Amino acid sequence: MSSTGRARTLLRYGLPYLFVLVFPAFGVLAVAGGSSVGVYAVYAAVAGTGLIAERLIPFVSVPRVRYRSQLWTDVLYLVTSPALYYGIQLLLLPGMQHVRDLLLGHWRIWPAAWPVALQVVLALLVVEFGYYWIHRLNHGDNIFWRSHRVHHSPENLDWLMGWRLHWLDEIMHHVAARSVPLILLGVPAPVVAVVMVVISTHSMFPHLNADVVSGRLFNLLVDTPELHRWHHLKDPKLAQVNFGGTIAVWDLVFGTYQRPGVTPDVLLGIPARHQLPESWTSQILAPWRGPKLVPATSATDRAGVGAANREAA
């Protein structure tokens, strides 16, 4: 094997450890040290590593013209969606804390006496439980699918399109599913900070267009590119699996887990009748427009993923 081949093999098997263990660990250290600059440096390292990986070991070769056609739309989402989230956080946090105090007084549900590590695990399970069920709601026949299809509209996955989230999705996924439960439960601020940095450092990994090998353990514990490709299949009947955002445990518990198996020849995106223009403004208006979603199918039908995806074109 050539030196280039060995380097690519090392990337394929080593990148999951960077995204699942190393980057979150450095993010946690930055939070523990009170360094906002350190946290953003970790985010930059995550993005840079993802970008390099997609160039060196792409899972699918994406024509440059297609990449460029959606680039600026994704950049707009990268800028506006987090800004909306943080703006809502600033407005929401005092009010939610007041509601919690009115409902519970000085009584606290949260086990603040537990070791911090156990609190982080529990908080991650709580927020991912909310995320899981809201994400499943997104895939129903409702207004929430018509906003969520914005995220599913690209026909190729990459680290940048992972930020393509409609504002309604941003509010549901990050505020309603994650921030609100943590505030109402009275989770200590340091624990919240650690959980959020773990989620944020991991969030680019599942959408990577990189031919990584995450291994059986990671594919059972966390959302990986191998798992998440199932969720972006073009046929909506086949994509009703692997709803987890950071961890895979709730998919395992509720029977929506699908093991890796998507090959590069299958079609990603959404069917033509659900398709959206690349205009960012048109996509923001998407929840009030659009057709119904096809109901979920059985796990048996997912065995024919290749043929079904070709038919969905």
- 139-173, pLDDT tens digit by residue? 987 788 888 989 998 888 998 888 888 888 888 88
Tens digits of residue pLDDT in 48-72: 999 999 999 999 987 654 555 678 8
pLDDT at position 249: 96
Tens digits of residue pLDDT in 261-286: 898 888 888 887 777 877 888 888 87
pLDDT at position 172: 87
Query: Which of helix, strand or coil describes residue 288?
Result: helix
Q: Is the dihedral of CA 77, 32, 26, 30 positive or negative?
A: positive
Residue 185 or residue 301, greater confidence:
185
Q: Are 210 and 50 in contact (CB under 8 A)?
A: yes
d(CA 152, CA 142): 15
d(CA 62, CA 160): 14
- pTM (predicted TM-score): 0.86
Distance separating the N- and C-terminal Cα atoms of the chain: 38
Which residue segment(s) compose the domain that 237 sits in?
3-312
pLDDT at 294 over 70: no
Query: Which of helix, strand or coil describes residue 247?
Result: strand
Q: Where are the alpha helices (DSSP H) in the chain?
A: 3-17, 23-32, 36-56, 64-104, 116-138, 143-152, 167-170, 180-185, 189-202, 215-221, 225-231, 249-254, 280-284, 305-312
d(CA 159, CA 206): 8
- Locate 269 and state its tokens: 């995106």
How many whole angstroms from its chain centre is CA 125?
15
Number of domains, the chain: 1
Tens digits of residue pLDDT in 198-210: 999 999 999 999 9
For residue 163, give the nearest of 270, 43, 289 by alpha carbon. Answer: 43
Lowest pLDDT segment from 93-97, 124-128, 189-193: 93-97
Mean pLDDT across the chain, nearest whole number?
A: 85
Residue 149 or residue 107, greater confidence:
149
pLDDT at 297 over 80: no
Query: Which of helix, strand or coil describes residue 138?
Result: helix
